[in-house]
Amino acid sequence: MPDAPTLDAPTPSENATLLWSDQVVLGDHETGLRVVAAAVKVSGTRIVDVTECDRETFENTVFSGKKRDISGRLLTPAFVNAHTHLSMASFRGMGGAAIMRNNVIEDLYFTVETKVEDADVRAFARMGAYESLRAGVGVVWEHYYGGTELAGAFEDTGLAGFVAPTLQDLDGPGVDRLDHQWQATYDLLENTSLADKGVFPALGPHATDTVSGPLWRRIADAASKHDLSVHAHVSQSIEEYERAHERHGVSPAKWLASTGALDARFLLVHGVFLSESDLKILDPARHTLGFCPYSQLQFCFPADVQSWDEAGVPWLVATDCAASNDGMGPQKELRFVAGLRSVATSWSHQQEAFHKSGSLHDARELQARRQRTFDAWPVWADPDRLLARVWSIPGRLDPKMRSGVIAPGAWAHLLTWDVSHPSFWPGNDVLRTLAYAEPGDALDGMMVSGKWIGEPGTFRQSLLGDGAYEEARSEANARLKSLLARI
């Protein structure tokens, strides 16, 4: 009789876990996604093996760690939210809808942020982290003031990701904190304990109109010397675009290139005012654009991601902050992305002609316009491509923590879904359900950096059901009340 199969590593760990499900999502944006029966071995913070196999093979496998049969559960990567400001959950609803008419960043946020204390940042960021976890987000790219306190909020909640302490020297509340934020960046770089938990630093220049040329060059040098990714807002407002032309005679992106900053691995967020010539200077090998659709709908208007596609620059989907989005779940953004190929018809010249004439001819022309754009961009509606923008594309931004995939070497950021839940019924296409539906209530297990968050099977309830969340909420409430009084 042949020996029983083994999925043990050469030096098996007692803390290793072997998960088997009849529905495991494998693949990425390059290979495509597929749902198969597989065993996934986790040791420490990483996935160390993935083997496609049936239940009988799994049951007969010799394994020294914990074995769990989670059949009936869909096993997927955790979502990656590659641009957010967790602490700004405290600003949700502040100022009302009218404040979004102009530059809400300068008109409101900068004013409030001058009154925010470091301890506030940690308390508020914890609340943003809890909301993120409940949305199935295991990894975030965070960009805000108070880098050390942000990292503390990650530790408090179990969230993983990259912390970019905001750097400013021309304008904004970070001007007086520049040295402190630089030190926080280097403290994070040297903190191996945080790295072991999946918390890493990134460089966080705020934007091209709040960061000077010398500071951009300093950032470029630090990125090269310490292999750090750069995470910044670029061409996010008309004011930023105007200032670049007034100060430098070129667009924000072209001026950025002149500083050497674009030599780094760079996440450029928003890009609302990116021209064709701007896109040509970006390198798909090291530059990624960040699209935050529901946030952009409020503070400006959605970026032209069709032009990003045509330029061949990779792009991802993120939420931005709850202050301008009102939610922290990147999955819900995907339906908007899928609809972009149709929505332009509503404001086309064909629509204008039909509105005026009401003729059958113009109605047919309007429908033909819709069909042309719909057929020209079929990949936008493909569930594989949509999910890749919140899984594998943001998951490859920095080689220090590969995520968004279930593959050997990737970090063990995983979700389990109850496919018997009504939101998955009838279950014929689970990938489409994840991209288009509202499956949040079916989320029943979450692993971040190899550790279960809450209780598997009752994840969303257990996450908020212990005393830690109530303590965090109580402190955040008190600190928000104090902040509002100071304002």
Q: Are 160 and 401 in contact (CB under 8 A)?
A: yes
Closest by CA position to 149, among listed 163, 135, 161: 163
Q: Burial-class residue 353 by CB neighbours within 10 Å (0-12, 13-18, 19+).
A: middle
Could you read off the pLDDT of 468-485 as tens digits, one per residue?
Answer: 999 999 999 999 999 889
Enumerate domains of the chain plus CATH numbers.
17-78+404-453 (2.30.40.10), 79-342 (3.20.20.140)
Which residues does the chain have with pLDDT short of 50?
A: 1-12
Structure tokens of 42?
């986790």
Residue type at 357 in one-letter notation? S
**pLDDT at position 1, please?**
31
Structure tokens of 87?
């602490």
444 Cβ contact list (under 8 Å, min separation 6): 73, 416, 417, 418, 456, 457, 458, 459, 460
Q: What H or E segment, with its residue span, contains residue 60?
A: helix 55-60
Could you read off the pLDDT of 298-314 as tens digits, one per residue?
Answer: 888 899 999 999 999 99
**pLDDT at position 7, please?**
45
**pLDDT at position 9, please?**
40
- Strand pairing report for 46-52 and 443-448: unpaired
Q: Burial-class residue 201 by CB neighbours within 10 Å (0-12, 13-18, 19+).
A: buried
The reported pTM is 0.94
Closest by CA position to 173, among listed 254, 106, 120, 95: 106
Q: Are 23 and 37 in contact (CB under 8 A)?
A: yes
Taking the CB of residue 126, how many other CB atoms lie within 10 A of it? 29
**pLDDT at position 364, please?**
97
Give the C-alpha separation, 455 to 94, whole Å. 34
Q: Burial-class residue 29 by CB neighbours within 10 Å (0-12, 13-18, 19+).
A: buried
Give the C-alpha separation, 179 to 290, whole Å. 27
Structure tokens of 33?
């996604």
The 3-state DSSP class for residue 67 equals: strand
Give the C-alpha separation, 59 to 387, whole Å. 31
**pLDDT at position 14, please?**
54
Could you read off the pLDDT of 326-339 as tens digits, one per residue?
Answer: 889 999 999 999 99
